[in-house]
Amino acid sequence: MSEKKKIALITGGNKGLGLEIGRQLGKLGYAVLLGARSVSKGESAAKQLRAEKLDARAVKLDVTSAEDIAAVTRTIESKFGCLDVLVNNAGVKLEKGWTQNTTSIMDAAMLRDTFDANFFGLVALTQSLLPLLRKSDAARVVNVSSILGSVSLQATPGSPTYKTKLFAYNTSKAALNMFTIHLAHELRHTNIKVNSAHPGWVKTDMGGSGANMSTEEGARTEVQLATLPADGPSGGFFHEGDAIAW
Ligand SMILES: NC(=O)c1ccc[n+]([C@@H]2O[C@H](COP(=O)([O-])OP(=O)(O)OC[C@H]3O[C@@H](n4cnc5c(N)ncnc54)[C@H](OP(=O)(O)O)[C@@H]3O)[C@@H](O)[C@H]2O)c1
């Protein structure tokens, strides 16, 4: 008897880490839904994975759009009836460069736009999909965070991230980490595990060409957390199996 295929939704799945997470989950036998705010970019990414003989399709999903969130929830409900993996990968870094600390002059719009995508959007999407995640035997939610969101490392002179003070991006990832902790606690008696991932510094449009990891390497942490066994952790923050300081 063949086992039912597991269903995974990856937001921001049209390029970068999201596309590679989709590829790796596809290779593990998951039916992959690549969320993309541009339908054409999503379709071409899904086509790419299908050409590699993977089960992939695109879904229109701007995580800041309540309509898109409702539509994607309805689509997954009607086509599959449940969801096994949600990778909240979509994200923005609106600050230019990596070295300037513009906290004292940052306008509210940049903070709001960053939080809309990196925090409010993924919280709303996760809440909307929770009834479908609850129907899975072993659901996994992976929140793609960043070591830049580690409050303790930001506060520690000499730490690897101490000098990278991107106020909007870093605070949005710190808030996302708190979402991980709170949701994992609320769901602690269920089959749903919720963890934050730091992919590493990865060569993507966001990470830039100077990054030291390929997307193939950067997707490893997210895929590992998306496929955790029943005795795996929940409510943690990890990079390649190692815990990262909050
Ligand atoms: N690269 C790194 O070194 C690194 C390190 C730590 C953490 N991360 C995190 O990893 C995740 C993926 O980043 P990446 O490096 O792959 O960056 P990327 O290549 O810039 O990809 C970002 C993805 O997010 C999508 N996105 C942005 N806003 C969205 C929205 N409102 N709704 C839906 N999708 C949206 C983008 O869609 P469009 O193509 O339409 O713009 C794109 O698919 C992010 O959360 C990032 O913060 C990256």
6 C-alpha to ligand 1 centroid (Å): 24
Which one from 6, 93, 173, 203 is the annotated catalytic residue?
Answer: 173
Q: Note if 169 is an active site residue.
A: yes
| pLDDT for the residue numbered 136 | 98
Question: pLDDT tens per residue, the chain (246 residues)?
Answer: 456 899 999 999 999 999 999 999 999 999 999 999 999 999 999 999 999 999 999 999 999 999 999 999 999 999 999 999 999 999 999 999 899 999 999 999 999 999 999 999 999 999 999 999 999 999 999 999 999 999 999 999 999 999 999 999 999 999 999 999 999 999 999 999 999 999 999 999 999 999 999 999 999 999 999 999 999 999 999 999 999 999
| pLDDT for the residue numbered 200 | 98
Which one from 30, 93, 169, 193 is the annotated catalytic residue?
Answer: 169
Query: pTM value?
Result: 0.98
| pLDDT for the residue numbered 4 | 83
206 C-alpha to ligand 1 centroid (Å): 7
Contact call for residues 154 and 165 (beta carbons, < 8 A): yes
Cα dihedral sign for 63, 225, 217, 3?
Answer: negative
Where are the strands (E) in the chain, listed by range? 7-10, 31-36, 56-60, 85-88, 140-144, 193-197, 237-239, 242-243
CA angle 46, 47, 49 (to 5 degrees): 65
| pLDDT for the residue numbered 2 | 52
4 C-alpha to ligand 1 centroid (Å): 30
Residue 12's Cα: distance from chain center in Å? 8
Ligand 1 atom at minimum distance from 15 CA: 43
* Pocket probe mutation, ligand 1, options 92, 173, 198, max atoms within 8 Å of Cβ: 92
119 C-alpha to ligand 1 centroid (Å): 13
Which residues are within 8 A (CB) of 201 and not within 5 positions of it... i.e. 6 or more apart?
207, 211, 212, 213
| pLDDT for the residue numbered 105 | 95
Domain boundaries, the chain: 7-92+117-147+172-243
| pLDDT for the residue numbered 1 | 47
Nearest residue (CA) to ligand 1, atom 23: 12
Tokens coding 145: 């965070």
- Architecture of 7-92+117-147+172-243 per CATH? 3-Layer(aba) Sandwich (3.40)
CB of 18 closer than 6 A to ligand 1?
yes
* Rounded distance between C-alpha atoms, residue 38 and residue 174, angstroms: 27
Q: Note if 162 is an active site residue.
A: no
